[in-house]
């Protein structure tokens, strides 16, 4: 009996699971804050900390849970970025789990014989899907930084997939927008639709095939997805639907750890995503341009004008210079330099908008974008994770690989199919982000840490090309002493160089601001919907108290819990 009891304790201990001490060698978290886009994902993270996991194990659990309960935004068929900070040695890194173009991808794969872009080919179906990085990211995060085995940290996600959960209003609205493409693939329709239609509110979504794929990952690590039976099914199904995946593509996929982009704005240390995401560079460049203005003292029209002009110039550099750093040389030092920012700042007139056509390019309307997902985690010692994860458009490519439950991304659309033409977000680009075999497509995902003498904040949001401007507005609010609740609620406006228009949420601009901005040459357009779903947590260094907030535009939750 004694022996059985001792065995039971050993079985429960992380030493049994991992065979060695916790990889991150962190003291146990006693208090944790988690904010994510779905209450079940936030709960999954808390459950795993309750089992002895650290914040990195919690991040595995939240990522996997979101893949199940928010399949419109991210999933095993997608990728993303996990920004990590380890408190005991200050180590920071970004896990780049961005998808990669298949090895047989080519620069003109979405063009017709006349060299014109074939409508929707990079958005719908198997050809739009790049090789996923999410499963490899989960394994890497767990094995290198976690304390618990995947069997434990993936358990909540497996449970949600097996037993199901009630779908909400936001999910159904996004599903409605993608019903057409989901209906054309039986494996997709069988999971998400009911007789080809959007199911009723609060109906239960069960995903047994996805539960099995997650189990394979839990049991066999990366081989459970990138090799063996699941890989066979993925490749067979993609090939049958005229996609390009091969077994070699899956076997060769690797995540990469990269040094995060760092900057400073009015005494706030900024840590954010590095290429293959443009997020950190564009954010810091725009903040550098703004840093010499006293935004708090300027009138509200000038303030919005200056922010717009900074965004215009930083997004212009995005289009010119940014892409996968493993394939192209990015002038990172220059883009982050204060001298370079000062030069750009000197071209801003306080009383006049600069037309984007004076910089380069053409104009068009971007599509509305509210997909991808973000979560933020911090404990009372300052260990933290900011993760933004995506399958690109809502429900990605709409294509589920038969027998896997895995909904594939359509991130191939984040490449430039043809220089100067726009992708689904109205973003343009050139050679730096052209398609090449094995290359990562440029992203806008901007998981971010902010730190001053007193506090640390962790934040980020979904929202396509608007992600960077949303994070920038939150940083400015942080600089003006806002709370997590206020960062996630900031009324939003956006400019991305092309199209040359300030997009704004209803009620963000007063009639006087609209006419003031128009009078100095800005074009303005109200967005159809409010956008973004920011998730933020905060740690006070001295008191060790924690707070969190989840954007009311979404249906997520923020929790703080003692352990
Ligand atoms: N797929 C959206 C992004 O990576 O920015």
pLDDT over threshold 90, residue 12: no
pLDDT over threshold 50, residue 59: yes
What is the 3-class SS of 263-321, one letter each residue?
EEECCEEEEECCCCECHHHHHHHHHHHHCCCCCCCCCHHHHHHHHHHHHHHHHHHHHHH
- pLDDT band at residue 28 using 50, 70 and 90 as cut-offs: low
- pLDDT band at residue 266 using 50, 70 and 90 as cut-offs: very high
Residues 6 or more apart whose CB falls under 8 angstroms from that of 252 comprise 103, 438
Give 388 Cα–ligand 1 centroid separation in angstroms: 9
CA 265, chain centre distance (Å): 23
Any atom of ligand 1 within 6 Å of the Cβ of 73? no
The Cα 522–Cα 516 span in angstroms is: 9
Which amino acid residue places its CA nearest to atom 4 of ligand 1? 443
**Given this model, what pLDDT does residue 420 score?**
65
117 CB burial (10 A radius; 0-12, 13-18, 19+): middle
Any atom of ligand 1 within 6 Å of the Cβ of 443? yes
Across the range 537-553, mean pLDDT stands at 97
pLDDT over threshold 60, residue 33: yes
Across the range 453-457, mean pLDDT stands at 98
Across the range 266-271, mean pLDDT stands at 98
**Given this model, what pLDDT does residue 418 score?**
82
Best residue among 425, 433, 461 to mutate for probing ligand 1's pocket (most ligand atoms within 8 Å of CB) is 425
Give 122 Cα–ligand 1 centroid separation in angstroms: 14
**Given this model, what pLDDT does residue 15 score?**
39
Q: Report which DSSP code applies to 433.
A: G
> Domain boundaries in the chain?
7-99+133-258+374-382
- pLDDT band at residue 67 using 50, 70 and 90 as cut-offs: very high
pLDDT over threshold 70, residue 74: yes
**Given this model, what pLDDT does residue 417 score?**
86
Tell me the pLDDT tens digit for each residue of 367-395: 445 589 999 999 999 999 999 999 999 99
Give 414 Cα–ligand 1 centroid separation in angstroms: 7
Which amino acid residue places its CA nearest to atom 3 of ligand 1? 443
**Given this model, what pLDDT does residue 5 score?**
35
Across the range 343-347, mean pLDDT stands at 98
Across the range 105-134, mean pLDDT stands at 95
Tell me the pLDDT tens digit for each residue of 401-446: 999 999 999 999 999 988 767 677 767 677 899 999 999 999 999 9
Residues 6 or more apart whose CB falls under 8 angstroms from that of 105 comprise 244, 412, 435, 436, 437, 439
Weakest-pLDDT range from 76-80, 125-129, 355-359? 355-359
Q: Which residues are catalytic?
A: 372
**Given this model, what pLDDT does residue 482 score?**
86
Any atom of ligand 1 within 6 Å of the Cβ of 444? yes
**Given this model, what pLDDT does residue 1 score?**
31
pLDDT over threshold 80, residue 501: yes
Tell me the pLDDT tens digit for each residue of 239-265: 999 999 999 999 999 999 999 999 999
Stated as kind and residue range, the H or E segment containing 548 is strand 546-550
Name which of 264, 260, 314, 318 is nearest 285 in CA terms. 314
What whole-number percentage of the chain has pLDDT above 70?
92
Using the CB atoms, write b or e for 515-538: b if 16+ within 10 Å: ebbeeeebbbeebeebbbbbbbbb
Across the range 115-123, mean pLDDT stands at 93
pLDDT over threshold 60, residue 13: no
Torsion angle, alpha carbons of 285, 291, 297, 303, to 10: -10
Any atom of ligand 1 within 6 Å of the Cβ of 273? no
pLDDT over threshold 60, residue 452: yes
Give 425 Cα–ligand 1 centroid separation in angstroms: 9
Q: Please give the residue that has the higher pLDDT: either 233 or 364.
A: 233
Model's pTM, two decimal places? 0.94
**Given this model, what pLDDT does residue 427 score?**
72
Neighbours of 260 (CB within 10 A): 21
Tell me the pLDDT tens digit for each residue of 290-335: 999 999 999 999 999 999 999 999 999 999 999 999 999 999 999 9
β-bridge mates for residue 415, sequence order: none
Tell me the pLDDT tens digit for each residue of 166-209: 999 999 999 999 999 999 999 999 999 999 999 999 999 999 99
Which atom of ligand 1 lies closest to the CA of 414?
1
- pLDDT band at residue 14 using 50, 70 and 90 as cut-offs: very low
Give 445 Cα–ligand 1 centroid separation in angstroms: 6
Any atom of ligand 1 within 6 Å of the Cβ of 414? yes
Any atom of ligand 1 within 6 Å of the Cβ of 392? yes
Name which of 414, 400, 397, 413 is nearest 125 in CA terms. 397
CA 69, chain centre distance (Å): 16
| Long-range residue pairs from 6-13, CB within 8 A, at least 24 positions apart, any chain | 13/52
Which atom of ligand 1 lies closest to the CA of 388?
4
> Contact, 376 vs 85, CB < 8 A?
no
Mean confidence (pLDDT) of the chain: 92
**Given this model, what pLDDT does residue 359 score?**
87
Give 464 Cα–ligand 1 centroid separation in angstroms: 5
- pLDDT band at residue 30 using 50, 70 and 90 as cut-offs: confident
């Amino acid at each position: 009996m004694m022996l059985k009891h001792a065995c039971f304790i050993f079985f429960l201990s992380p030493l049994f699971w991992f065979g060695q001490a916790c990889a991150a060698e962190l003291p146990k978290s006693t208090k944790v804050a988690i904010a994510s886009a779905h209450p079940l994902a936030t709960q999954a993270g808390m459950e795993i900390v309750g089992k002895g996991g650290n914040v990195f194990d919690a991040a595995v659990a939240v990522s996997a849970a979101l893949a199940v309960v928010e399949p419109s935004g991210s999933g095993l068929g997608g990728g993303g970025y996990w920004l990590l900070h380890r408190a005991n040695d200050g180590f920071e890194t970004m896990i780049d789990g961005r998808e990669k173009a298949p090895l047989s991808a080519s620069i003109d794969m979405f063009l017709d014989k006349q060299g014109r872009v074939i409508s929707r080919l990079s958005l719908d179906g198997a050809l739009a899907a790049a090789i996923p990085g999410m499963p490899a990211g989960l394994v890497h995060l767990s094995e290198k930084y976690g304390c618990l085995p995947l069997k434990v940290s993936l358990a909540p996600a497996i449970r949600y997939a097996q037993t199901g959960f009630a779908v909400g209003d936001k999910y159904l609205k996004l599903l409605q927008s993608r019903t057409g493409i989901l209906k054309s693939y039986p494996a997709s329709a069988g999971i998400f639709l009911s007789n080809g239609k959007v199911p009723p509110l609060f109906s239960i979504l069960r995903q047994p095939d996805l539960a099995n794929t997650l189990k394979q990952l839990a049991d066999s690590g990366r081989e459970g997805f990138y090799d063996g039976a699941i890989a066979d099914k993925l490749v067979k199904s993609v090939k049958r639907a005229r996609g390009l995946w091969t077994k070699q593509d899956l076997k060769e996929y690797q995540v990469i750890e990269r040094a995060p982009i760092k900057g400073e704005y009015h005494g706030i240390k900024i840590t954010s995503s590095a290429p293959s995401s443009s997020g950190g560079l564009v954010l810091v460049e725009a903040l550098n341009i703004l840093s010499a203005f006293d935004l708090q003292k300027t009138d509200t029209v000038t303030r919005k004008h200056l922010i717009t002009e900074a965004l215009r110039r930083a997004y212009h550099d995005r289009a010119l210079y940014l892409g996968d750093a493993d394939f192209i040389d990015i002038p990172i030092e220059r883009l982050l330099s204060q001298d370079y920012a000062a030069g750009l700042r000197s071209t801003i007139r306080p009383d006049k908008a600069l037309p984007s056509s004076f910089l380069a390019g053409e104009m068009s309307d971007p599509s509305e974008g509210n997909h991808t997902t973000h979560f933020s985690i911090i404990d009372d010692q300052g260990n933290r994770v900011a993760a933004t994860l995506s399958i690109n458009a809502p429900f990605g490519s709409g294509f589920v690989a038969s027998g896997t439950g895995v909904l594939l991304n359509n991130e191939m659309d984040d490449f430039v199919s043809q220089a100067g033409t726009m992708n689904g977000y109205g973003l343009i680009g050139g050679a730096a982000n052209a398609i090449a075999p094995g290359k990562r497509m440029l992203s806008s995902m901007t998981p971010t840490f902010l730190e001053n003498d007193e506090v640390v904040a962790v934040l980020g949001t979904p929202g396509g090309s608007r992600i960077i401007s949303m994070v920038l507005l939150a940083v400015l609010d942080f600089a003006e002493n806002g709370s997590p609740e206020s960062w996630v609620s900031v009324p939003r406006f956006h400019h991305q160089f092309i199209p040359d228009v300030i997009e704004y949420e209803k009620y963000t601009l007063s009639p006087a601001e609209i006419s003031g901005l128009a009078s100095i040459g800005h074009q303005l357009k109200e967005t159809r919907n409010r956008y973004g779903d920011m998730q933020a947590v905060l740690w006070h260094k001295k008191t060790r108290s924690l707070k969190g907030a989840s954007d009311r535009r979404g249906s997520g939750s923020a929790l703080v819990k003692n352990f």
